[in-house]
Amino acid sequence: MNVESDRNIAQTWWDAVIRGFTDTHTTAVPLPALLGILACAIVLSIPRITWRWFGLYVTFVHELGHAYAALMTGRFVHSLRIGLDHSGRLVSSGRSAFGAAWSGFWGYPAPAVVGLGLIAAFAAGRSGAAMSVGAVVLLVSLIFLRNLTGILVAVLSAAIAQLLVLFASPATVDYVVLVLGIALSVGGVRDLFKVLGVHTRRRDRLTASDAFILGRTTGVPALVWLTGFTVVIAGCVAASAWFLWGILAV
């Protein structure tokens, strides 16, 4: 009986995930609502009291950027750890020097890239697909975690995604995807300024910078990597703004 019940639950979840890919839904967002969403995103990402917690999720996305970039080049991901101080550490291995550099690069840009993807999905009426992808990716990501903070962040994120996939109305999913997309974009910009600050004002923390580590391991100056982070993040933010302008125009 329990086995049958578990199968039914799993089938219901899978049907909901698939439905996210097949269904389309567009929610009109008037200017006051969009301004309210922008305010919510800023409240999540700017004040220290809220950033202390939302920043853990941004760090999680940052580290997943490293992890999935590593997997793209055939590297093996051993572990992923997240600290309460928003620190993160991914351990992967492989023979390719390019794979190590590729993985090392895609941490800081990851939140802005994901944010752009979510905003674009909303604009295309595919928020359900974005949520379904997120639900699956977050579940798979649990296998990488090796410390309690990381596991708690991942489990909470995955649980919320599953509940939204299973029970939320299309309009609710639309708004959640839009808020999260904007908040990740803002969070990505905040983290970019943080790493730039490490290289200009807080050089005692330099050894923890992805750009410094990439410079040391590849021989390419950290400034080049910082420029790369900035170009990708700025491009994502500009594209996100273009999509948001299109949403208002509908």
pLDDT, averaged across the chain: 90
Tell me the pLDDT tens digit for each residue of 207-229.
Answer: 889 999 999 999 999 999 999 99
**Residues of the chain above pLDDT 70, percent:** 97
The pLDDT of residue 4 is above 80: no
Q: How many domains does the chain have?
A: 1
Q: Are 156 and 57 in contact (CB under 8 A)?
A: no
Range of the domain at 143: 2-249
Distances (CA, A) of 131 to 22, 182, 193, 220: 12, 15, 28, 37
Tell me the pLDDT tens digit for each residue of 135-172.
Answer: 889 888 989 998 999 889 988 998 899 889 888 999 99
Question: What is the model's pLDDT at position 6?
Answer: 60
Tell me the pLDDT tens digit for each residue of 22-39.
Answer: 888 888 888 888 889 889
Q: Are 63 and 107 in contact (CB under 8 A)?
A: yes
Distances (CA, A) of 124 to 29, 120, 130: 13, 6, 11
If we measure between CA atoms, which residue out of 247, 238, 132 comes closest to residue 185? 238
The pLDDT of residue 1 is above 60: no
The pLDDT of residue 103 is above 80: yes
Q: Is 145 left (phi over 0), alpha (psi -120 to 50) or beta?
A: beta
With 0-12 CB in 10 A as exposed, 13-18 as middle and 19+ as buried, what is 143?
exposed
**At residue 111, what are phi and psi to the nearest 5 degrees?**
-60, -40
Question: What is the model's pLDDT at position 5?
Answer: 63
Which of 94-131 are b and which e, b meaning 16 or more Cβ less than 10 Å from the residue's Cβ? beeeebbbbbbbbbbbbbbbbbbbbbbbbbeebbbbbb
Mean pLDDT of 225-235: 98
* Lowest mean pLDDT across 7-11, 99-103, 114-118: 7-11
Q: What is the residue whose two structure tokens read 């390719």?
A: 96
Question: What is the model's pLDDT at position 124?
Answer: 93
With 0-12 CB in 10 A as exposed, 13-18 as middle and 19+ as buried, what is 65?
buried
Question: What is the model's pLDDT at position 120?
Answer: 96
Question: What is the model's pLDDT at position 13?
Answer: 81
Mean pLDDT of 120-142: 92
The pLDDT of residue 106 is above 80: yes
Mean pLDDT of 107-133: 95
Q: Are 180 and 157 in contact (CB under 8 A)?
A: no
User: What is the C-alpha radius of gyration for the chain, rounded to an integer number of angstroms?
Assistant: 19
Distance, CA of 141 to CA of 148 (rounded, Å): 14
Confidence grade of residue 64 (pLDDT, cut at 50, 70, 90): very high
Distance, CA of 109 to CA of 10 (rounded, Å): 34
Distance, CA of 161 to CA of 134 (rounded, Å): 7
Confidence grade of residue 2 (pLDDT, cut at 50, 70, 90): low
Question: What is the model's pLDDT at position 105?
Answer: 97
